Structure formats: C-alpha cells, structure tokens
Amino acid sequence: MSAAPKKDPTAVEVEVREKIHLEILKRTGAYHANDHVLLPSGQHTTEYIEKTLVTTEPSFTEGLGAVIAKHFAQWPVDVVLSTGPGALVLSHCVARAHPSRPIVVYGTKGLSGGKRRVTLPVEFQRLIRTSTKVLLVEDLVSTGSTLNLLINLVEQLGAQVVGIGCLWRRTSVELAGRSVFSLVSRDFPTYDPAQCPLCKKGVPLNEEFVRRRHARKPSSVQEPKEVP
Ligand SMILES: [Zn+2]
C-alpha cells in the first residue's frame, strides 16, 4: 500500500487558518456559504459576503487584526492607512496589535466625474511624509481599485508602502506586483442564470439579499427644518 501524497505543511496551515477565518466571518453573519444566491448583478452564486457586517463583532475584529499585525510585526510601521468605515475599524485593531505602535490615519472615499477618489484630510497630511512607513489595511478586496488609489496617495506624498493586509481578497486581484496578505483568499464562481448548475439541479434560489436592498431603505433621521 502506498502512502497518500503528503501535502506541503505550510499549505495545510494556510488552509486550516483560512477555514477558521471563514468560520469567524460566518459567525458575524457576513459570510453565507453553500447557498444558491441571486446577486444584485442578476448572476447566481454559491457564496455571498455582506461587507457592512464584517467588522461588527469587536472581539473577532480584534483577533483578526492581531493576525494581520503579527504577519507584519518584523517590519517597522509608522502609520496604518485605510479608507471606508469597515476597514477603519479593522485598521485600528491592526495598529493596536503591532509592536511599532503605529498611528491610525484614514482617507475618505468619494466620486469625481464618475471616477473613484480617495482624499486624505489636511489634518493628516503632515503625518505621512517622505520616508514614512505605511501599512495599508482593507476589509474586502474585490477589484483592488481602492488599494491602488491608496498606494498612489502614499507615493504621491513621498512615503513608502511597507505592506498590504486585508481580511478577504478575491484571488484574481493583481496589485502591480505587490503582495497582499489576506486572511481569506478566494473567488466564488458566479453563473449566468441560463448556465447555473444549481438552477439545473433545482436548488431554490435565495433572493433575500437582493430583495432586502429593494424592499428596505436605510434608517435615517434629520433635524427639523427651521420655520422662518
Ligand atoms: Zn442558479
């Protein structure tokens, strides 16, 4: 009897780690697996992640942030930079756990002429200067466009990107040859409804996520208008 081919121990470790992290994301309610989901694009898929829920459990976020910090512990970091509320919560946790005790700075996202834009508030500009070592943190990386903007922002200020860490990265993302450390790195297949294998098998379609977007409006409150 021949022994089963042994897997590379590092690959096994990465696999196990990834499973643990997926389980954590599942417990926040952000990650749904083994489903048949209708996406806002009209495509069907087996997995879905709700970005806004990813960093809602402080103890999970702290734990995941500490793993990212540990990965970059051997490199000195002056500033942890992110953009977007979810990524900011995570970047706080990364900075808190990093031995260099970096400060936390964030850019604000916007659109200009239909193009994405990241702006660094003026108060932060003196904190990122020539030779400042910057660690970029993102929650989910799906196209890499936000990270590319952050890289450009750092380089424009003469500072240096020493690393990029995120919770989740779609494996197809390329960032100009830069390596990205991600706790989970996977792509879920999306199908055209006509070619969807789950439809063919007769698995019921979960329209919950799309329906919720249409049926519900975000809660908001406003100050009353002043009566002249
Ligand atoms: Zn389907």
Could you report the per-residue pLDDT of 117-165, keeping only the tens digit for each? 999 999 999 999 999 999 999 999 888 889 999 999 999 999 999 999 9
pLDDT of residue 52: 87
State the distance from the centre of ligand 1 to the C-alpha of 192, rounded, in angstroms: 8
State the distance from the centre of ligand 1 to the C-alpha of 177, rounded, in angstroms: 35
Residue in this structure with the two tokens 């995120």, named with its chain if needed: 166
Q: For the segment 172-220, what is each residue's pLDDT rounded down to a tens digit?
A: 666 777 889 999 888 888 899 999 999 999 999 999 888 877 777 888 9
pTM of the model: 0.86
State the distance from the centre of ligand 1 to the C-alpha of 15, rounded, in angstroms: 28
The more confident residue out of 120 and 16 is: 120
Give yes or no for a contact between 140 and 49, defined as CB atoms under 8 angstroms apart: yes
State the distance from the centre of ligand 1 to the C-alpha of 172, rounded, in angstroms: 22
Averaged over 18-31, what is the pLDDT? 88
* Residue partners of 143: CB distance under 8 A and separation at least 6: 170, 173
State the distance from the centre of ligand 1 to the C-alpha of 202, rounded, in angstroms: 8
State the distance from the centre of ligand 1 to the C-alpha of 48, rounded, in angstroms: 14
pLDDT of residue 212: 79
pLDDT of residue 3: 57
State the distance from the centre of ligand 1 to the C-alpha of 201, rounded, in angstroms: 9
pLDDT bracket for residue 25 (50, 70, 90): confident
Residue in this structure with the two tokens 């390329």, named with its chain if needed: 174
* Residue partners of 103: CB distance under 8 A and separation at least 6: 78, 79, 80, 95, 127
The more confident residue out of 4 and 73 is: 73
State the distance from the centre of ligand 1 to the C-alpha of 211, rounded, in angstroms: 16
State the distance from the centre of ligand 1 to the C-alpha of 212, rounded, in angstroms: 19
The more confident residue out of 141 and 106 is: 106
State the distance from the centre of ligand 1 to the C-alpha of 185, rounded, in angstroms: 24
Q: Please determine, for residue 4, whether its predicted confidence score (pLDDT) is greater than 70.
A: no
d(CA 120, CA 224): 32
- How confident is the prediction for the chain on average, in pLDDT? 90
State the distance from the centre of ligand 1 to the C-alpha of 130, rounded, in angstroms: 51
